[in-house]
């Protein structure tokens, strides 16, 4: 599983990159069929914006973004949104008939 991390208008520290990788690795274990992920961290004067795109099977993409003042809190929010989308996708694939 490849994770591409990009910092827009800033240089990301290694500890932030490691934090992003750790969070996404945990999320990507929800499904074995996910192919790769792209994360963009954008900085404005007052906010940090994180956008994550996870590419899944058969052309499905899961997109989540959030804004806030603290980078780690924003990353946590994006990770939670991605996990919810992936769980919903997996739930639709499962046949729930008794």
Task: Kindly state whether residue 83 falls inside one of the protein's structural domains.
Answer: yes
41 neighbors 49 (Cβ within 8 angstroms): yes
Task: Kindly state whether residue 98 falls inside one of the protein's structural domains.
Answer: no
Note the pLDDT of residue 46: 87
Task: Kindly state whether residue 55 falls inside one of the protein's structural domains.
Answer: yes
Task: Kindly state whether residue 80 falls inside one of the protein's structural domains.
Answer: yes
pTM: 0.86
Q: Report the CATH number at residue 51.
A: 3.30.160.100
Task: Kindly state whether residue 87 falls inside one of the protein's structural domains.
Answer: yes
Alpha-carbon gap, residue 28 to 69, rounded angstroms: 25
Write the pLDDT tens digit of every residue in 24-80: 988 878 887 888 899 999 988 889 999 999 998 788 899 999 999 999 999 999 999
Task: Kindly state whether residue 33 falls inside one of the protein's structural domains.
Answer: yes
Residue 2 has pLDDT above 70, yes or no: yes
The total number of structural domains that make up the chain: 1
Task: Kindly state whether residue 53 falls inside one of the protein's structural domains.
Answer: yes
Residue 67 lies in domain: 2-93
Q: Tell me which residue of 42, 85, 84 sits closest to 67, measured CA to CA.
A: 42
Residue 84 has pLDDT above 70, yes or no: yes
Note the pLDDT of residue 96: 66
């Amino acid at each position: 599983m490849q994770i591409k991390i990009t910092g827009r208008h800033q240089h990301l520290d290694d500890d932030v990159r490691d934090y992003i990788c750790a969070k996404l690795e945990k999320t990507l274990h929800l499904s074995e069929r996910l192919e790769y992920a792209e994360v963009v961290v954008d900085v404005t004067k007052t906010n940090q914006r994180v956008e994550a795109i996870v590419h899944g099977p058969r052309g499905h993409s899961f997109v989540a973004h959030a804004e806030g003042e603290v980078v780690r809190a924003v990353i946590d929010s994006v990770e939670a949104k991605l996990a919810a989308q992936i769980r919903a996708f997996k739930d639709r694939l499962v046949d729930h008939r008794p």
